[in-house]
Structure 1
């Protein structure tokens, strides 16, 4: 599964630092963890079960910063199934 442009718009925003944010997008449930700067770094996308866990796919974000603090690399990598 690839992350489409509408989902990427959600993930490009800044949120509360060091938090787990839950949202729904169309037919998917999203849950993502943010870093110290409030940028999403870990994403679970799929359907939420009765226990509140998302069954679907898991993605991790790789952010690489330069010496001046500018973003050199910003890439989402599919890490497999989320259970």
Structure 2
């Protein structure tokens, strides 16, 4: 399952640095893990159980910068099942 443009607009924003950000998208529960700059670097997408653990898919984001600090690569990749 690839991520669509609608969800990418929602998760590619800046969030609170070094935190877990729960949210909903359509009928999915999402959990974003952010880095120290506030960029989402991991995404868990699926259904949350009573304890808040999401069962579904796990995605990781690759962010690459050049020497001047400009973003040269921004890519989300599915890493497998989330349990």
The reply to whether TM is greater than 0.5 is yes
RMSD: 0.6
Unmatched 5+ residue regions in structure 1?
Answer: none
Give 1:1-83 correspondences, 5 Å limit. 1-83=1-83
Unmatched 5+ residue regions in structure 2?
Answer: none
1:15 & 1:59 partners in 2: Cα distance? 17
TM-score (norm 1): 0.97
Q: How many residues align?
A: 83
TM-score (norm 2): 0.97
Moved over 2 A (4+): none
